[in-house]
Amino acid sequence: MHSDEDTSRIIRRLLRVNHSGEHGAVAIYSSQIAGAKKRYPEILPWLEETLSHEIQHRAAFLDAMPARNAKPCRAMYVWKHGGAVLGWITSLFGKSGVMICTAAVERTVHGHLVEQIAFLRTNDPQLAETVSCILSEEDQHLEAAERQHNSNSFFAKLLSSVVSLATETLILVSTRGDSLRLRAKLSKS
């Protein structure tokens, strides 16, 4: 299916995008926490717990990089500042904006992580296990966000679409297209 070099390249890029994504998530939740402190403090415990998960996920991906000759993404500042802006903007819409953002990001990430696990099971079982554990927590974030906000309003759909598109675009750029190629190969299997 893949040459050893292709497999190694894909694994490096998956690690890079996962680490970057977690870096962006840390920025999103940090900005949302700043917005929530005065305006809707009832969700602070959930935001802080979710932030702690994202920090742990980022560290797990960073720890996995050296053994696979992977390096952090050169565009980490884009993930950080983009995440901070996204978190700030969505926090302006209150609890609803925070939950719509979380659901959109986690729904998008879920699909990518499932595809990665399918690829990694035969190519890097140890990393597949790491990604599986992280996926479990990300799914908890998605479920909590959907439980707390289930609007089908035009605004919710629009905001969700914008956040999902931004997330997909950053994933595509950070993997240099490997995310699409991996999806195509897995769909043929």
pLDDT (tens digit, 9 = 90+) per residue, 51-99? 999 999 999 999 999 999 999 988 889 889 999 999 999 999 999 999 9
Look-up: residue for tokens 């595509």? Answer: 172
Which pLDDT score, from 0 to 100, does residue 46 have?
96
Token pair of 178 as six digits: 């490997």
Check residue 169 and give its pLDDT. Answer: 86
pLDDT of residue 108: 92
Q: How far apart are CA 113 and CA 128, in angstroms?
A: 9
Q: What residue ranges do the domains of the chain occupy?
A: 4-180
Cα separation of 31 and 29, whole Å?
5
* The CATH number of the domain covering residues in 4-180: 1.20.1260
**Residues in the chain with pLDDT values less than 50:** 1
Which positions ≥6 away from 174 have C-beta within 8 Å?
13, 16, 17, 20, 21, 73, 75, 79
pTM comes to 0.90
Separation CA 181–CA 95 (nearest Å):
36
Distance CA(179)–CA(120), nearest Å, equals 13
